[in-house]
Amino acid sequence: MALLGNLIARSLRIRKQFKLSVASPQTYQRHTLRQLMERGQYTAFGKHYGFGDMLSQEVDLVAAFQKAVPAFTYNEMYEQWWHRAQKGEENVSWPGKVKYFALSSGTSESASKHIPVTQDMIKSIKKVGFKQLYSMTEFPIPSRSFEKGILMLGGTTTLFEKGDYYEGDMSGISAKNMPKWMSSLFYKPGQKISKRQKWEDRIKLIVRKAPEWDVATVCGVPAWVQIVFEEIIKYHKVKHIHEIWPNLSIYIHGGVAFEPYRDSFKRLLGKPITFIETYMASEGSFGFTTRPNAEGIKLVLNVGIFFEFVPFTEANFDEDGNPRPNPKTLTIWEVNEHTEYAVMISTCSGAWRYIIGDVVRFTNAQEHEIIIVGRTKQFLSLCGEHMSVDNMNKAIDVASQKLGITVREFAVAGFKHNNLFAHRWYVGCDDACDAAQMKEVIDHTLCEINDDYEVERTSALKEVFVEVLPSKVFYDYMRSIGKEGGMNKFPRVLKGVQLANFEQYLSENGIKSASSA
C-alpha cells in the first residue's frame, strides 16, 4: 500500500509540472451533446425526437436539440421512459439494458426515486474521481495522505436484485464497481462492514475498529460524519479525532451547505485539515472544488453530461417549484453570476433535458464554478418572500455565531396565520438557547440579505416562530422513516405531506421545544 501510495503521490507531483491544454466550455459542451445524441439516436427516445435527422443536417445542434426535446421532471422522465428500462426493455433512452437503478435520498419527496445508472455513467463517475485526484495537487495536502486509507460514509453497499436489474444506494453501486486495488488497499470501512444494511450496525463497527485504520481522507454528508467522529471520540475516550487518525488531512463533503457545520467540526479536530466540496447526485458526478479558497464547485464539462440552466424565476417555475411548459434555458457559455438557475442535464445514463431539482448560482461564470443555493421544491415564497435554502443557511450561521451555539439541523415551514402568513423554524440545538433571541437574529439577518423578505415582513408575513429541539429528534425521525445515515439529508423546507408527517411524529412522541417564540 505504501509503495502504491508513493507512486500516486509522485505521479501527482509530476503531473503538476505540466499545463495540459484545455478547450473552451462551449467546445467541450457542444462535443458532449453531439456524442450523447450519436449514442442515443437509435434508442426509442432518440428515434421519437429525431436525433438522427438533427445529426445529419447542417444545423446548430444545441438549438435544434432544445427546440425538439421538451424539459422533463423526474416523474415525466420515469413515467414516459425509465419505467420501461426498469422492466428490462433494451434501448429505451440509452443503448442496451440498464443494470443498476440508484435510489435517491428523497429529500424533496417522501418516496425514493429510481435513477438509471449505466456502465457509461459509471465510467463517467470514475473519470471525475480521477480528475479530482489530479486537482488535489493545488491544495496543501501532505504527500503521505495518498498512502493512507479513505473512509467513505455512505449508505449500505448492499444491492438488491430485482429481476433484470439491481437497485440500491448510489454509494453501493459505486463500491461494487470500484477498482479492486482501491477497494482492497484504501477503502474503509471495507466491503464486509459497508454491506450491513442497518446504519447503526455499520457505525458501531466503524467506531470500534477506527484505531485499526490509518485514515487520511473522509468522505460523507456533514451531519453523519460529525456523528461518527463524536462517537469515536467518546468511545475511545480521546480529546479529538486526530488522536485516532493522526494523518487525517482531507474531508470531502457534499449534499448540503457546509457552513452551518464548520465550527462544530473544527472542535472535533486536533489540527487543520483541507475541506473539499463535491457535487455528486444519484444522476452522476458533476464537479468539485479545484483550488484553495475558491467559493464555488467547478463543473466538469467533458465526461458525458450536457448542462443547461433554467433561470429560477416565476416565468419558468410555479409557486410549488414545478417547471412551466417550455422554460427558457441557457447553456454554460450563456450564464451570468447574478441569476439563480435550476440545473437541467442530459447524460450518458439516458436522462434528457432532465431538471434534477438543484438551484445554483455561478460564483465565477468564466471558470464555470457554482454554489448550490437550494432546491426547486425547497424554498419558501408564500407571499413573495422568495426565501432560498442559501438564505436559511446564512441566517442559521449568523445566529450560531452571535449566540455562541451549535445548530446541528434545522427545517423551516410556512403556513397561514391569522388570515395572513407565518414561518416556523425547527432548530436542532443541544446548547442552552433562547428561542426569542434566535428568532430576532434570524429575522434580522433575513431582512438584511433578502429584500423581498424584508418587504413581506411589513405586510403579509406577519410572524416568525422558532422551536428549539434536541438534535437527536431530527436523526430519530429520519430513522423512523427509514432514511438514517449515509447520503440521507433532512429537508431544509417542510411542505405538505413531509410537514404533516414530521408534526405528527413530534405529537405522537410528546416532543416539545425547549423554548419557543
- Residue 224 is predicted with a pLDDT of 84
36: in domain = no
- Residue 6 is predicted with a pLDDT of 56
- Residue 81 is predicted with a pLDDT of 97
Q: Are 396 and 270 within one domain?
A: no
pLDDT in tens, 233-257: 999 999 999 999 999 999 998 877 7
Q: Are 134 and 11 within one domain?
A: yes
Of 243, 260, 283, the domain-final residue: 283
Q: Are 261 and 141 within one domain?
A: yes
Judge whether residue 85 has pLDDT over 80. Answer: yes
Please give the average per-residue pLDDT across 209-231, as a whole number.
Answer: 91
pLDDT in tens, 117-163: 999 999 999 999 889 888 888 888 888 888 889 998 877 778 888 88
Each residue of 198-208: b (16+ CB within 10 Å) or e?
ebeebbebbbe
- Residue 488 is predicted with a pLDDT of 75
- Which residues, in sequence order, are CB contacts of 34 under 8 Å at separation 6+? 55, 61
Please give the average per-residue pLDDT across 299-322, as a whole number.
Answer: 92
Identify the CA nearest to 405 among candidates 417, 396, 413: 396
C-alpha distances in angstroms, 101 versus 105, 221, 406?
Answer: 13, 21, 37
Q: Which of 62-66, 285-289, 299-303, 479-483 has the lowest mean pLDDT?
A: 479-483
Of 283, 302, 326, the domain-final residue: 283
Q: Is the dihedral of CA 373, 374, 380, 383 positive or negative?
A: positive
73: in domain = no
309: which strand partners? 330, 343
- Residue 490 is predicted with a pLDDT of 87
- Residue 56 is predicted with a pLDDT of 92
Q: Are 10 and 143 within one domain?
A: yes
pLDDT in tens, 433-461: 899 999 999 999 999 999 889 888 988 89
Judge whether residue 178 has pLDDT over 60. Answer: yes
Judge whether residue 100 has pLDDT over 70. Answer: yes
Q: Are 149 and 268 within one domain?
A: yes
Band (59; pLDDT cuts 50, 70, 90)? confident
Q: Which of 192-196, 359-363, 455-459 has the lowest mean pLDDT?
A: 192-196
Q: Are 273 and 406 within one domain?
A: no
% of the chain beyond a pLDDT of 90: 54
- The CATH number linked to 459 is 3.30.300
- Residue 240 is predicted with a pLDDT of 96
Q: Are 395 and 276 within one domain?
A: no
3 state SS of 374: strand
- Residue 190 is predicted with a pLDDT of 81
Cβ(475)–Cβ(429) below 8 Å: no
- Residue 119 is predicted with a pLDDT of 95
467: which strand partners? 426, 516
Report the mean per-residue pLDDT for the chain. 88
Q: Are 9 and 158 within one domain?
A: yes
Q: Is the dihedral of CA 251, 118, 99, 186 positive or negative?
A: negative
Band (514; pLDDT cuts 50, 70, 90)? low
425: which strand partners? 412, 466
Of 265, 283, 301, the domain-final residue: 283
- Residue 159 is predicted with a pLDDT of 87
**Backbone angles phi and psi of 114, in degrees to 5:** -105, 110
370: in domain = no
Q: Whole-angstrom Cα distance, residue 404 to residue 88?
A: 55
pLDDT in tens, 259-274: 778 888 889 999 999 9
Please give the average per-residue pLDDT across 162-182, as a whole number.
Answer: 81
468: in domain = yes
Total structural domains in the chain?
2
- The CATH number linked to 262 is 3.40.50
Q: Whole-angstrom Cα distance, residue 184 to residue 268?
A: 28
167: in domain = yes
Q: Are 271 and 129 within one domain?
A: yes
315: in domain = no
126: in domain = yes
User: Could you tell me the residue range of the domain that residue 230 belongs to?
Assistant: 2-21+120-283
3 state SS of 221: coil
Q: Are 138 and 268 within one domain?
A: yes
pLDDT in tens, 461-476: 989 999 999 999 998 9
- Residue 517 is predicted with a pLDDT of 46
Identify the CA nearest to 126 among candidates 304, 248, 332: 304
Please give the average per-residue pLDDT across 192-206, as a whole number.
Answer: 83
Cβ(124)–Cβ(195) below 8 Å: no
66: in domain = no
C-alpha distances in angstroms, 6 versus 142, 144, 506?
Answer: 11, 7, 52
Strands 215-220 and 420-429: unpaired
- Residue 460 is predicted with a pLDDT of 86
